[in-house]
Structures are given as C-alpha cells and as structure tokens.
Amino acid sequence: MSDKTMSAEEAVGRLENGMTLGIGGWGSRRKPMALVRALLRTDVTDLTVVSYGGPDVGLLAAAGRIRKLVTAFVTLDSIPLEPHYRAARERGAFALMEVDEAMFMWGLHAAANRLPFLPVRAGLGSDVMRVNPGLRTVTSPYDDAEAFVAMPALRLDAALVHMNRADRLGNGQYLGPDPYFDDLFCEAADAAYVSCERMVDTADLTKEAAPQTLLLKRSSVTGVVETPGGAHFTSCVPDHDRDEAFQKLYATTPYAEFTERFLGGGEQDYQLAVQNWKKEQGQ
Amino acid sequence: MTVTRPPLLPPTRAEYCVIACADAWRDNGEVLASPMGLIPSVGARLAKRTFSPDLLLTDGEAMLVGLDGTVEGWLPYRQHLTMVTGGRRHVMMGASQIDRFGNQNISCVGDWAKPKRQLLGVRGGPVNSLNNPTSYWVPKHSARVFVEKVDMVCGVGYDRAAEAGPSATRFHRIPRVVSDLGVFDFATPDHSMRLTSLHPGVTVGQVREATGFALHLPDEVPYTREPTPEELELIREVIDPKGTRNREVRE
C-alpha cells in the first residue's frame, strides 16, 4: 500500500488554473487553512471554488483567485459577515452559483454517487431559481407527480479538507462534534488532499476513538499532509478552538496589510507571526 | 408557610418579545426548536420549561441537549438537514427584508449580480421554508425590513410558493412573525401579512409607519398577552439572568 504523505506545497502543486476545487469544513470550522495558505503562495487562479464558505473563500476572493464560487453562504460564524468576501462580491469580482445549504449537500451526494442530479424540494419558489437560470426541475414518475429541483452533481477536480488525525495511507479521522461534509467532498473529487493535525500509525486511529470517527477512506484520498495548527484560525476541536482574537484581527485588517504581516512566507512563518502577534497582545 | 415576595417589576418590551417568540412553539409537540437570534433562543427555552416540554433543543452545534445541558442526542449538519426535510422542526429565522406575503431575504441588498450590500447568502432559507414551519424574528421593525418587495427571495412566501406549485406548498407554513412592535401572521384570504397583536405601549400608527406595505389590520387589535409571574421569573432568574434580552430590544 502506498505512502501518500506529501508536503502542503506538493499537494497544491498538483492544482491547475481553471480547476473546480472543493474546500471542506463549514463557515469558520475545521477549514484546511494551511492548504489554502499554500495555495495562495502559488500562481494558481481562475478557480471554481465549491465551499460552505468561511475565511477560505474570503482569502481566495481577496487574492483574486476565484472565477466562480458555488456556495450557500460565506460567514465567520462568530462574525456573521465575511468582510473580504463581501468586498469582492460588492465589486462584482467573480461569478456566483448561490444555492441552498441542502441543495449544496445533494449536489455533493450526486457527484459522490456518480449521478447527474438528485431531486430536492428546496429551491422551488425562491430566487435561487432566478439567479441560476440553468437549474432544471424534474417530475416524479410515480402517482404523486411532484416536481422537484434537479440539483446537478457538484463534481470536483480536487478537494482540500482538514482532519484531526490521519495515517500515511489516507485514512482520515475527525474527533470533533461534526464531520461536516468532508467525506462527500473527497468522494466527489478526482483527487483529494487531506491535511491533519497529527499523522499517526493506522493502529493508533482506533486506540482511543470509536471506529465511526474514521470519516475518510483511503480509497478516496490522494495525498496526506501533516499540518499542526493547519485549520488556524478556524476551530478544530478537540485539538483547538477557533482563535477568536485572531479572527477578529483578520476581519478588521485591510487584506494587503494582513497579507504582508502573516502570509508573506511559508506556513512556519505564518505560525510564528501568529505567535508573535499573540505575545504583543499579552496572550 | 407562605413566602411574601416583592411585587414583580412590569414586563419590559424585550420580555413581551420573548413570550411572543415562545408562543410560536406552543403545541408543537416533539419537534426541534431552532431559534436564531437571542430573544428567540430565550423564547424557545421558556417554551420548553413551561408549556412545550417535549421540544428538542441543540447546543448551537451538533448536540441535542436538555435544559441543564445534558446531551441527549447527536445532530450534525447532515442529520439536521434531514430534520428539516422530514419536517420535525420549527425554525425562527432572522430577516434582513420581509414582504407582505412572507418572502424573506438574508442574501444581499440591491442587484444580486453586483449587490449594494452583500449579506449572508441564502443559507437554509429555501429548504427551511418549503419543509418545516418557519417563523421570523425582527428585533428592529422598520420600513427597510418590512418592504414591498425583497431583493432576493431566500425564505419563500405564500405567493411565491403558490406560483411554484403543489410540491412547494405541500409543507409550506409561516406560523408567525415577531418584531419589537408586535406579532404578525398570514391568516388572511390572500395570505398577506396581518397584525395579530401589539406589544403593550405600541400603537397601530407606529406599526403602520414602520412598515413599507399595507398591513391587514383587524377591526380591533389585541395586545400581546401578559407573561405569567412564573414566566417572568424564569426569564429573569433562570434563562437570562444577565438581561441580554434588554440589549437586543430596548424599551
């Protein structure tokens, strides 16, 4: 069995301009931020990003890497509105496929199951149909003859997700309260890159945690990257909570200034800059 | 032995809002109460502590919890969405805009293609409104919120659901809208919004002034009911002892 470990640079080095890229997590929760930061250090652009959006979308939007966004929302959770996403939207910086949270989930399910669409009641009557003129409906062939939205598969060229633990083969484990939809992102993608707080031996995955925490199967994972603090500043419980103070800094600092101080170097430079900022704050 | 207690201070506006929200979940049975926003959260917990003990509540993340925080179940987002589509839930959402037929917007203000103000996005508005009872909470009633036409229909109103056909109307229901001025519903022949009660101290004129469309007004508008002494004590001493509700809605 193959060892799939790689660096964050190697993982994002496989991404290309114009790809459709799924990003796991939810809002400001367990986002693969180290992989997003690595992506920002490349020249890869013109992306179609598929995400339950948080600061991953904010950073990529501010950096001008998004051609089209597929989402139901973009939020920082404790700060309801994502400032960089808002600014990008208000200047019309990219195309948007805005769908409902459930439609989004069924789009991933359809892709993971190699179906062209799945029927969903959500969307009917709403302006999701107006702003996505390509959406079609489908009528039940049974006696009810109900009409539903035919949510198209959200097939991905690549997916980026962040786990609490993983082994070198690509088996991924979440230890927090919610798996979000990270397994679906991986299964919907041609290639999935998984970062993790800690790489462990396969046997250690189930030593202290129940087997149902094993969310990702190695058959749907292409590469594994060990990135301690790799979800920072989003939450990654039980390893760490959201860094609320730093998130507030992110949300209130002009993008160029934030980039210069925190995103100028590699991941180690980022983590060091964060530590230095915390020291300044007396934390 | 009887204990003499000092008389309770009269209810604040925020406390009328709390019980108006709580009443949304009256007689709902064993369903998930999903309050969004502070006063609806206090209201949902009040309902569970008093007249709707079978309600389910979450910790705001993935756990179903009792009133003392005891975990009684697991509800990650994907199962939460099944709770929505299965209908065993009554959500009270916020609304940046809402119109006379209950269409709600939390996505953006202005032209969707290049919005004047980008807000949250449609979130679960479409799935909520078509699948489980969806009420709304507006902490600051104004003509900027209660508009003739919303800029982006997220939560579906009665007219738009009817246009979209039987699959859209099958489970569609907007039990009530609560604002800092009063309580509203859509129990009119054309399902347009109706003023059902004024919070004490508010006049019909004030509501009219703060609403950007013609409301259906009954001949006599009652006041929102008084909280019981037990409800007031629960709100003030048990559920929200720090009085955060009075910061969301002032007198």
Task: Determine, for residues B153 and A126 on separate chains, whether the beta-carbon distance falls below 8 Å.
Answer: yes
* Helix, strand, or coil (residue B15): helix
pLDDT bracket for residue B134 (50, 70, 90)? very high
Q: Give ipTM to 2 decimals.
A: 0.96
Mutating which of A124, A131, A182 best tests the B interface, going by the most B Cβ atoms within 10 A? Answer: A124
Q: Is the pTM of this model over 0.95?
A: yes
pLDDT of B8 = 81
Whether residue B1 has pLDDT greater than 60: no
B221 at interface of A, judged by CB pairs closer than 8 A:
no
Determine what percent of chain A is predicted with pLDDT higher than 70: 100
Rounded to an integer, what distance in angstroms lies between the CA atom of residue B126 and that of residue B131?
9
Q: Distance, in angstroms, between A188 CA and closest chain B CA?
A: 16
Helix count and strand count (H, E) for chain A: 11, 12
Under-50 pLDDT residues of chain A: none
B64 at interface of A, judged by CB pairs closer than 8 A:
no
pLDDT of A283 = 72
Of B98, B194, B204, nearest to B150 by C-alpha is B98
User: Do the Cβ atoms of A175 and A213 come closer than 8 Å?
Assistant: yes
User: Do the Cβ atoms of A81 and A28 come closer than 8 Å?
Assistant: no
pLDDT of B7 = 74
pLDDT of A1 = 75
pLDDT of B2 = 63
CB contacts, 8 Å: B171 with chain A: 121
pLDDT of B251 = 79
Of A94, A97, A213, nearest to A154 by C-alpha is A97
pLDDT of B187 = 97
What CA dihedral angle connects A51, A55, A56 and A57, to 10 degrees? 60
How many CB atoms neighbour CB B248 within 10 A?
18
- In eight-state DSSP terms, residue A240 is B
B166 at interface of A, judged by CB pairs closer than 8 A:
yes
Of B61, B84, B156, the CB nearest to A177: B61
User: Do the Cβ atoms of A174 and A209 come closer than 8 Å?
Assistant: no
B112 at interface of A, judged by CB pairs closer than 8 A:
yes
* Residue-wise pLDDT tens digits, B143-184: 999 999 999 999 999 999 999 999 999 999 999 999 999 999
Task: Determine, for residues B127 and A179 on separate chains, whether the beta-carbon distance falls below 8 Å.
Answer: no
Of B192, B190, B189, B211, nearest to B202 by C-alpha is B211
Cβ-in-10-Å burial (0-12, 13-18, 19+) of A143 comes to: exposed
* Residue-wise pLDDT tens digits, A187-212: 999 999 999 999 999 999 999 999 99
Nearest CA in chain A to B152: A127
pLDDT of A224 = 98
